[in-house]
Amino acid sequence: MKSRYITPSVTLFKEDGTIDTEAMGNHFDRLIEGGVDGILIFGSIGEFFAVPMEERKRLIKFAARHIDHRVKLLVGTTSMIMEEILELSRYAHSAGADACIILPPYYFPLSEEGAEHYYDTIARQLPEVSLYLYNFPDRTGYTISVQTTLNLLRKHPNIIGYKDTQAGMAHSIALIKAIKPKFPDFEIYAGFDDNFAHNVLSGGDGCIAGLSNFAPELCHAWVKAFEEEDLKKVQDIQKTINGLMEIYQVGVPFVPYIKTAMIQRGEEIEPYSSFPFMEADAPQAEKISKILQKWMKKEH
């Protein structure tokens, strides 16, 4: 059974707030060596909302050259300004990215007609760019519906996938049931790690989810277990992932705690995130350490 685990990479910063490309390159290498199937930069965990346009371009150019098609490269080009979306998407495509992924507008929710108009406008102006829809209703206040997605697919062959970041699987299953029979190559990914197995068993393609930043080898083992139809291994890894999901609950927002977990697993990175995100304090770091220790004890 085929599946993919794509890492939405954190963005690693220097103390002055600029992106640390050397650290990013080392992180990309670690992810690739760990077996992930793709890397997404400037997703939600990548703090796209706090990075200036020129810094985003700088990392896009670096990532495309450094990854060099060893795995698939996706670029988040979300902005509340349409001209920036188009400019950044064209830049990513020309730099060598495989696809772009875009949230719908946030702050004010759109109607179904409004969401379709939004993506229709983008897809028409970027016919050369492969696009993923990014559904994250906790952040936007609304859902990109099944019908809206179908309407867009009938018009735009460059819309090739969908990331569905919701705690439950009901909406993803509705997408799979409605879309896969008509568009079997359309990729439907879960946005949370613990939904990976449910997504694949339901006919989806896997997940784009953050635990793989510090546990790429575990996530790759899950993909391999599905490929080998080793359901005992699938179940065992599900239980491990369920435990690691506790890292998302250490504090709000979770981004700095993923970076702390990476440091505790041996990555030589700085803990900085964009303002006003705060670094993990000592009690939070201890919680993360205990969560990781439970995993490592299972492994040994």
Per residue in 91-114, pLDDT tens? 999 999 999 999 999 999 999 999
Domains contained in the chain, number? 1
Burial of 112 (0-12, 13-18, 19+ CB in 10 A): middle
* pLDDT at residue 300 in the model: 56
N residues, the chain? 300
* In-domain check, residue 269: no
Q: How far is CA 25 from the centre of its chain?
A: 18
* In-domain check, residue 98: yes
**Is 232 in a helix, a strand, or coil?**
helix
Query: Which CATH number does the domain housing residue 158 bear?
Result: 3.20.20.70
* In-domain check, residue 268: no
Residues 6+ apart with CB under 8 A from 67: 28, 32, 39, 73
* In-domain check, residue 235: no
H or E, element range at 162: strand 159-164
* In-domain check, residue 274: no
Average pLDDT for residues 261-279, to the nearest whole number? 96
* pLDDT at residue 148 in the model: 98
* In-domain check, residue 124: yes
Domain span at 97: 4-230
Could you report the per-residue pLDDT of 278-289, keeping only the tens digit for each?
999 999 999 999
Residue 41 predicted with pLDDT over 80: yes
* pLDDT at residue 298 in the model: 73
Query: In 3D, which of 123, 20, 133, 7 has the Cα closest to residue 72?
Result: 7
Residue 297 predicted with pLDDT over 90: no
What distances in angstroms separate CA 23 from CA 26, 29, 97, 111, 262, one per listed residue?
Answer: 5, 10, 20, 41, 12
Strands 38-41 and 72-76, sheet pairing:
parallel
* In-domain check, residue 273: no
What distances in angstroms separate CA 22 from CA 13, 18, 61, 62, one per listed residue?
Answer: 10, 12, 13, 10
Could you report the per-residue pLDDT of 112-148, keeping only the tens digit for each?
999 999 999 999 999 999 999 999 999 999 999 999 9
* In-domain check, residue 63: yes
